[in-house]
Structure formats: C-alpha cells, structure tokens
Structure 1
Amino acid sequence: MNIVQEKIDDLNALVKITLAPEDYTPNVEKAIKEQAKKANLPGFRKGMVPAAHIKRMYGKSILVEEINTMLNDNISKYLTDNSVEILGQPLPVQEDENQYNWDYNDTFNFAYELGLAPAVDIEVSSKDKFTQYNVKADEETLNERIKNIRKSYGKMTNPEVSAEGDILYAELKQLANDGSEFEGGISATGSIRTDAVTDKKILKTLVGVKKDDTLELDVNKAFGGDAAAIAKLLNISEEDAAELKSKFQVTVKNVNRLEEADLNQEFFDKIFGADAVKDEAGFTAKITEEIESMFKQDADRKLQNDIYTQLTEQTKMQLPDEFLRKWLKATNEKLTDEELAQGYDDFAKNLKWTLIENKIIKDNDIKIDYKDVFEAAKQRLDAQFRMYSPTPLPEDQLAQYAANFLQEKENANRIFEEVKALKVFDYIKSVATLNEKEITYNKFTELK
C-alpha cells in the first residue's frame, strides 16, 4: 500500500492511495471465510458453505466493502500519524478513467481532496478590552415579576364584567363572509386570554363584556397571526390555523380572573419556606435578588457574544471555502444552493471560532475533565427542575438523573461542547481587560 499527500496550496491537498492485490487480498479472504461460517444457504448446512461458493456469489460486494474499510482506516491513520489537521472529511475524487474489473487482480488508485486547517495566530492579553455589564432591576421589570408571582399563587374569581388581563371562557363559531354561521365550519369552546391579544382595538372589545354577551372576533388579527395560539383556542392544527382568515362569533360563557395573592406571611412561606421572609420589603429584596441573578446570566451571554464577535473579526485566517462548500453539499443531500449561499458565512464564522477555541485550549493546556461535564449536566437539570418547583432535588437523585442524561451520546457531546466553551471564555476573561458597567435591565435590552 502506498499513501502520498500532494499539497495544492496552504489550504488544499490531495491524498492518493494505491492498493495492490497483496494489500487487500488477505482481508478479503478472511471476510469471505467469516461469511461462509455464518451463511445459511439452500443445499448447505449452516456454517458449511464452501468459501469458494461465497466468493463466487458475493465476492465483488465483499471486495468493495473491504476496500472501502481499508481506505477509511488508512486515511484516518495517515492523517493522525502525520499530524495533518483537516476541516470536514476527505472527499473522494471521481476519476472516470479508472475502470476496474473487481476480479481480485486490480491495482486500485484512489484520490481524496482535503481541506486543510489554517494556522491560527491568536494571543489574548490585557490589550483585549470588553464590557462586563452589571444589570440591575428597573422598577417596571421588578413590578411585573412580582405581579406574575402573586398571580401564580392567587385564586380564580368570576367577576360580572371583564377587564384587561381576564380570561373569557367562550363558545366560538366560524362565520361566513356575509356574517352568518358557516355551515360545517369550525366550532369550539375555549379560553380567550385577553393578555395574549396583540391588537389594541380588538382588546377593547373584549373589555367590559359579561356572561352570555355575543361579539364578533377576527382571531387571526386578534393574536397577530400566532398560529400556535389560534390552534390551541380552536382545537385545530397549526397548519390550518395559519391559513384561517374567517371571523368567529364569540358567546361568553364565563369571565375568569386570576386575583393576585395577598402579601402576607402565608404567601411568603409558600414561596421561600417558613419565616425566610417576614415582610413586604424582604419579599421585594428576595425577588430583586432572584431576577438580578437571571440578569447576570444574560450579561454573561452578552459578554461571551462580544468576545466571540471581536476575536473572530480580529483574528485573520483563510479557510478552504471552495472545499468546504463542496463538503457541505456532499454531506447534506437536501441542502440547496440557495441555502448554502445564505448560511455559509455563519458556518464559516462558527468554524473560525472553533479553530480559535482549539488554539487557546492547546496553547494554554486547558483540561476538560468528566467531572466538569458531570457537574454541568447536574446544573442544567437542576435549573430545569426548578422551573417547575422551587424545592431542589436531593443530591443523590440529581446525580442519578445526570448520569442517565449523559448516557445519551448527543447529550454528552452537547454538554462537553458547552463546558469547553465556558472554559475558553473563563480563560479569556482572566487575561483580558473587563470594564464593569452598571446598567438597568430595560436599558440593557436595548443593547445589540
């Protein structure tokens, strides 16, 4: 077997492989014998089929399979042994002039295109400057959060007349263009959440109504074309909801209002545990702490995005773009030329960041241990469970969930990549200059 690399330029190369009969024959003969032992063919006892018979019937397919296996194994070994860093995977070169008989006497010549990883020149230092935002709760955001929590622990009442924020339990019937009931049309009973209505004029018509009132409603306009909300209300598919243009007759069956819970000790204990909070000031302080903790996560994501953008823009490198476009098309059969053109720049930018990450990890000997991945998985699952219950899971139970979660290869790979990214960002933050800036949440959301 002979493998040689022909460098086309700094970013592209060819790997050429020659396989002579003496290279592949032992593997093929072994595969034929193994197939003979397993074969179950008419006229032969199982495992007693002659190897010559298997070779005559399936020889060419076995030969092709073994050749492909040898090619894949040896290309990978060659790239590893020679420290050839590539992007994507090797792409076979189609050579029409090579016509083989596949009769165990051919000398096979194959060629593969390689996209070579470029050299990455990056050194993060104190000269790299970023803004670390310290996001504080503004009054509007804080009040909205408190209102939502009080409603979550409040009680349902049935006022005579509706107000903004109420829920109308109603019967809906589809209307024809002339305003009459559409025969065979959609008929449903559902809850209209007035806080989900985006059209202000329509919202006004839903305020001040009472039980047994009838009104006309353009559901598409009312919910701003939100197919999911319309489908849920009318109990139809989202596809049908997206096409729906009809108006509906709405007959109110009941007005429901979720009253906010009183700010008393019983309410405080439900949320934070017995006697953890004693008064309204303590409650407000706790909620402020909670939401500013969430704001910190938003600020961290903003900082990471700023680091990503700045470093990818200032780190100059060329990619084998023509090869990568060809590789993306070869590995994604449904990818259209238009989709490729629209998405390639983002793909290339993300690939550049991956190369930057790998360079930083290598140059600074950053280690990613299983315990880091395990702890990250636990944190991810703990956050998900806390969305449904403020009471944390027992440590041993959370650890078991994390272990089960990481048994799925896709989950493990995703968490590994997240840990890898965080370790790189932590390193960058430790050496770069971070200018801290305090900002209210409503101003922070205006930042790009």
Structure 2
Amino acid sequence: MNITRNNVDALNAVVTVEVSKADYAPQVDKVLKNYLKNASIPGFRKGAVPMSLIQKQYGKAVLLEEVNKVLQENLNNYLATEKLDILGNPLPKINEDFNWDADDYSFEFELGLAPEFTVDLEAKNKITYYKITADDKMLDDQVQRIQKQYGKLISKDTVEEGFDVTGTFTNEENGINNTATISLDIFKDKKTAKKFIGKKVGDVVTLKTKGLFDDDHKLMDYLKVGHDNVHGLDIEVDFKIEEINASELAELNQELFDKLFGEGNVTSVEQVKEKIKEDAEKQFASQADQKFINDVTSSLLENTKFDLPAEFLKKWIQTVGETPLTAEQAEEEYARSENGLRYQLIEGKVMSQNNLQITFDDLKAYTAEIIKKQMAQFGQMNPTDEDVDGIVARVLSNQEEVKRLSEQVMNEKMLGLFKEKVKAKTKEVSYEQFIKEMYGE
C-alpha cells in the first residue's frame, strides 16, 4: 500500500492510493473459502463445489468489496496520521479506463482543505452591549396588569372608555383570524378608540392597520402577522366584538402582596416594583446576551477573511444527500450554507485559540442547575443532592440530550469569552428602545 498527496493549492489536494494484490488477496481468498464451505449449488454436495465455480460466481463482487474495505481503512488512517483538516469527505476521481482485471490498482481522491486563518476578538468593531432597564412606565403598567389579573371582571353590554373588549380580528384575503383582548388605550389615534364606544357584543368595527398602533410590531401580537409583513401594512381588518368587560382593580394591600410573593416578603408598592424590576431585568439580560452573541457573530463573519475550496464543496454537496443534486442545485445549496460553514470554522478556531472545552463535570453542573430551577417551579425548593444526581444521570444517558446540553454549555462559554475580550460599548436602554434596536428601526 502506497499513499501520496499532491497539494494543488492551499485549499485543494489530490491523494493517490496504490493498492497491490498483496494488500487484498489474503482477505479475498478467506472470504471465498468461507463461501466454498457453505455454498449450496444444485448438482454439488455442500462443501464440494469447485473453487473455480465459486470464483466465477462471487469473485468479482468479493474483490470489489475487499478492495474497498482496504482502501477506506488505509485512507482514513492516512488522513488521521497526517492530521489533515479537511472539509466534507474525500471525493473519488472518476477513471473511465479503470481495469478491475488488473492485479494492482490506483485510486485518486480529491480533498478540500480547511483554510488557515486567525480570529481577532479584540479588533475594533461597532458592537453594542445593551443593558435593558425596566423603566417607570413598564413598572406602572405591570402593577396595573397585576391589579387587573387579581381583580374582578364585570360583564357589560356596551363599550365605554376604560373597558376591555374581547373579539376576533379577521381579514380573509390576508389569512388573518386571531382572537384578542384589547383595551382602548392601545390605539395610536384616539379617534380609533372612539369607534368602539357604544358598541355591543356582535357588532363589527372595521380598522385600518396602517398607524393602528404606536409600534407596528404590536400587529404581530394582536393580528399574528409575521415580522416581515407588519411594516407599512395597509389593509382593513374587521374586529367582531365577543365580550365586553369592566375591571374592578384589586387593591394594592398586604393580602395581595402575600398572595404574590409569600407572607411578609413584600410590604409596599415600592417593594412590589423592585421585585418586578429585578425579575424583568433578569429576563432582559438573556435577550441582551443573545443579541450580543448575534452581533459578535455577524462582526466575525464580516471581518474574518479566508477563502474556501468552493468548487470542491459544490461537488461534495452534489453527492452527500440521499438524492444526488444537479450542479445548479448544489450551487444554490452552497450559497445558502456558506455563511453557516464559515461560522463553524470561525467558532472552531475561537475554541482552539482560547482552549474552550466542555468537561463532563461542566455538563453535570449545568444540567443540575436546570433541574433545580425546574423543580423550584413545582414547589420543590430544596431537593436533596441524591434526587438531583439521579435525575442528572437519567438525562445524561440520552445522547440527544447530551448533544443539546453540550451546545448550551458551549454557548455560555462563548458568551463569557466574548464579554471578556470583545471591545463593545455598553448602552442603557428601555425595553421598547431595545426592541427598536433589535430590528434595526
């Protein structure tokens, strides 16, 4: 067995594997002898079939199979020994004149090589890390929602100012059919709210979507319209009234505080707002972190320059699926997946440059924290270590779960690294401002 490599350029190579008869003949003979022992052919006793007949009937198929086994085993060993960082899998070069009747064979494989590059996390950039705060308006609104939630609903016949109205938004042409409860102060224009005054159950109010709310994103919530369609959406929707309710707000007293936060833990509206602020900003932090990761990812893709063996990858894409693709289909698939491949390479380089690894202890600790949080949601505030460890063991016995959790652990490690090394400016914003920044508006 002789294997040689010719580097076509920095990203492409051809490996030639020369297989001699001595590499495969012993195994071919062994397989054919096993066939001979067990062959059952009319006219011959079992075990007495002539080898020439076995050779004629099975020889070529066995030869192809055993040569392929030797070929793949030695090629894989070569790639591992040479520590070649390849993209995709080796592609065999077609030889129209290949002769299986010869004793010795030569096979050529095309390789796509991973590019050499470095990632500079500390380079100048325009990335912002958003610190999202719960402003006074949000806290006041949330307190009022709590009062409504724990207050009493009083059914009414006719819509008046301050009432809540439940109904269904519809527009058949645009596929809109969504039931929602609205308060009249959600509309941008007071004239729109006035359309509802005096209406009764069963009445239909027709509304224009353009400028309906102070933020077009609210159309996503109330009409279930996709983000790409809400901006400048200018259609009419019907709102059929199904319920009219007045809210008798719950009193902000100790009984309500105890119901919300446990007996004696909160004793004033100010403390209620502090609790709401604390919980909200924890949730906001995870959203800010995700945007930060997304922005760093985009920046790295834009600023980390390297070439790929594009033509090789397009040929590989044609062969890798269950159904072979045409050259045109592979071109389209490559265009769709190129950025994903580039980021996989960048992420791998970041991990190797910064020695980011996941240990089994990391995975166990992360899984245990998730389990404790889930148990707390069901009232189990102080589970024993034995109980938690037992659940962790069951979860980590599932390979799909291990893969999913490993991705989450690495995501947290990457986030920590980005926060440490990426020179981003910090900007304090309200949640509304963050949403506008999130969608680039």
Q: Secondary structure at the match of 1:446?
A: helix
Q: For 1:109, which of 97, 106, 125 is the aligned residue?
A: 106
In structure 2, relative to structure 1, the CA distance for the partners of 1:60 and 1:147 (3 Å cut) is farther
In structure 2, relative to structure 1, the CA distance for the partners of 1:255 and 1:9 (3 Å cut) is same
Q: Secondary structure at the match of 2:306?
A: coil
Give the root-mean-square deviation of aligned CA atoms: 5.0
Paired amino acid for 1:26 = P
Distance 2:382 2:48 in 1: 60
Moved more, 71-80 or 389-398: 389-398
Partner of 1:289: 278
Distance 1:30 1:209 in 2: 91
In structure 2, relative to structure 1, the CA distance for the partners of 1:158 and 1:15 (3 Å cut) is farther
Partner of 1:375: 365
Distance 1:142 1:392 in 2: 27
Distance 1:147 1:14 in 2: 70
In structure 2, relative to structure 1, the CA distance for the partners of 1:106 and 1:195 (3 Å cut) is farther
Quick check: 1:311 aligned with 2:331? no
In structure 2, relative to structure 1, the CA distance for the partners of 1:82 and 1:440 (3 Å cut) is same
Paired amino acid for 2:341 = L
Number of matched pairs: 405
Paired amino acid for 1:75 = L
TM-score normalised to structure 2 length: 0.70
Distance 1:154 1:41 in 2: 86
Distance 2:192 2:33 in 1: 78
Gaps of 5+ in 1: 176-189, 231-246
Partner of 1:8: 8
In structure 2, relative to structure 1, the CA distance for the partners of 1:144 and 1:225 (3 Å cut) is closer
Over the matched positions of the two proteins, sequence identity in percent amounts to 30
In structure 2, relative to structure 1, the CA distance for the partners of 1:111 and 1:249 (3 Å cut) is same
Partner of 1:331: 320
Quick check: 1:431 aligned with 2:430? no
Distance 2:219 2:326 in 1: 31
Distance 1:415 1:307 in 2: 22
Q: For 2:311, which of 305, 314, 322 is the aligned residue?
A: 322
User: 1:147 deviation in Å?
Assistant: 5.2
Paired amino acid for 1:420 = M
Gaps of 5+ in 2: 208-217, 226-236
Paired amino acid for 1:115 = G
Paired amino acid for 2:106 = N
Distance 1:314 1:100 in 2: 50
Partner of 1:193: 180
User: 1:288 deviation in Å?
Assistant: 0.8
Partner of 2:338: 348
User: 1:405 deviation in Å?
Assistant: 3.6
Q: Secondary structure at the match of 1:433?
A: coil
Task: Map Cα deviations across residues 200-219 of structure 1 (whole Å, 9 max, x no partner).
Answer: 999998886656x476999x
In structure 2, relative to structure 1, the CA distance for the partners of 1:60 and 1:128 (3 Å cut) is same
Distance 1:272 1:48 in 2: 84
Distance 1:372 1:225 in 2: 39
Partner of 2:433: 443
Distance 1:21 1:112 in 2: 20
In structure 2, relative to structure 1, the CA distance for the partners of 1:167 and 1:350 (3 Å cut) is same
Partner of 2:88: 88
Quick check: 1:137 aligned with 2:124? no
TM-score normalised to structure 1 length: 0.69
Paired amino acid for 1:350 = G
